[in-house]
Amino acid sequence: MPVVQRLAGFAAVPVAAIALLWAFGWLAAAPSALAAGACLASGGAAILLLRRDLRRLAAGIDRQGRRFDALAADAAAARRASETILDSLPDPLLLFGADRTMQRSNAAARAAFGTEMAAVLRHPLLRGAIDRAFATRQAQTADITLPVPVPRDVQASVMLLDPVLPDGTTALVVLSDRTRERAVERMRSDFVTSASHELRTPLASVIGFIETLRGPAADDPPAQRRFLGIMAEQASRMHRLIDDLLSLSRIELNEHLPPAERVDLARLVRSVAAGFEPRLPAGRLNLEIAPEVPEVTGDADQLAQVFGNLIDNAIKYGAEHGEIRLRLRPAAGPRWPARPGVVVSVADDGPGIPRQHLARLTERFYRVDKARSRGAGGTGLGLAIVKHIVNRHRGQLVIDSEEGNGSVFSVWLPVAEG
């Protein structure tokens, strides 16, 4: 608005009042003109001063705005820097506010727990440690166990921050995965127990034959040949047993860490099946692979071990000249999880397995027919290995069998994402 218009508006009332006084003769012309001029002059001066003050105020507001923008940019940069630092730390970290709810987590926590994070936050032992830390203002620890999808042992350390971070973070929780350490402890104990129990019989047999060869059979070549053959079988059995125990121990050490590679199951299943051709007559292994089977996320060597063990069991415990059916297809039906997956099944037409044994088949050294299992060269660990590998892949193992109608071992695996 022009200055003249602003001045007219500002001085209109006093000038009009002076004009009225002059019109009614209550004020002489000279004093009226002087008063009106004074009003106009003072109004103009006031307007000029007001404009100057407004310009200064606008300049100040602009400076404050730039300062606030700079502070906001610095705060955003500091937050990004803190997130970068947190994400670069190897241990899983959770940050909590004063209301004891999680505000954010670092990359290690998201990678380690992912969809299990809700179960971690709900765990009563962790909530108790957080409550104690807030109540006592001292660091607290808690050992928690997550049962699914595989058992995991986690140590949680809760620390209060003083001072509180600018974003309101009041407490820090460090989650240290102790699963591997405790698995090593269990592995040592289990290995000694299992080895001493399962190796006792073949070792006693070998020692007995050695004593016999040194004594009564020292001059009996036919007996020596027979005993040496039995000793070779027992030594081979002990070798297989130790190999399977070591394999199972290695699998259990990493069972809590899901694999990250993409695996073409169709190619892998064909390769595993081809490895059994020397042991099977042509046509005994029937391979059925559905077209366009999606890839899975997995460890190719471990999955090959799973399918190899299942085929080997079908050979050992199926009908002597019966058919073995190996099928690969997309999962469908209510018995499988809702998320996309594939199913690999190995079926035989053997004598089947009594129902009361099905739930225990994946236990270490559990055998339905101990004499037949040992005669077939089994160690009693094959299905335990299968179970732990499938668990590591976040899959499912389902066993269907009836006496007289054969058995079907099915493995469900989730489809690779992306």
Q: Does residue 44 surpass a pLDDT of 50?
A: yes
The answer, yes or no, to whether residue 186 has pLDDT greater than 80, is no
* Average of per-residue pLDDT across 228-252: 82
Average the pLDDT over 124-150 and give the result.
Answer: 86
SS3 259: coil
Identify the residue with better confidence: 319 or 287: 287
Using pLDDT thresholds of 50, 70 and 90, give the confidence band for residue 51.
confident
State mean pLDDT over 152-177. 85
pLDDT digit string, tens, across residues 228-237 = 888 888 888 8
Number of helices and strands in the chain (H, E)? 12, 12
pLDDT beyond 70 at 372:
no
Percent above pLDDT 90 for the chain:
19
| Strand order across the 140-146 sheet | 102-105, 93-96, 171-177, 152-160, 140-146
pTM above 0.75, yes or no: no
**HSE, side-chain direction, 13 A CA sphere, residue 383:** 23
**Averaged pLDDT for residues 264-293:** 87
SS3 79: helix
Choice among 105-119, 346-360, 395-409 with the minimum mean pLDDT? 105-119
- Residue 262 or residue 404, greater confidence: 262
Select, from the ranges 52-56, 233-237, 272-276, 362-366, the one with the highest average predicted confidence (pLDDT): 272-276
Is the predicted pLDDT of residue 265 greater than 90, yes or no? yes
Q: Which two tokens stand for residue 324?
A: 């073995």
Cα 353 to chain centroid distance, Å, stands at: 35
> Residue 411: pLDDT above 90?
yes
pLDDT of residue 371: 47
Asked whether residue 198 carries a pLDDT value surpassing 80, the answer given is no
pLDDT of the residue at 194: 65
Q: For all residues of the chain together, what is the average pLDDT?
A: 80
Length of the chain: 418
- Binning pLDDT at 50, 70 and 90, where does residue 53 land? confident
8 A C-beta contact, residue 345 and residue 326: yes
* Residue 92: both structure tokens together: 């899983």
Q: 245 phi and psi, to 5 degrees? A: -65, -45
337-364 confidence digits (pLDDT tens): 888 999 999 999 888 888 888 888 888 7
Q: What is the mean pLDDT of residues 93-118?
A: 84
Q: Residue 211: what pLDDT?
A: 85
| pLDDT exceeds 90 at position 266 | yes
CA dist 84 and 47 (Å) reads: 54
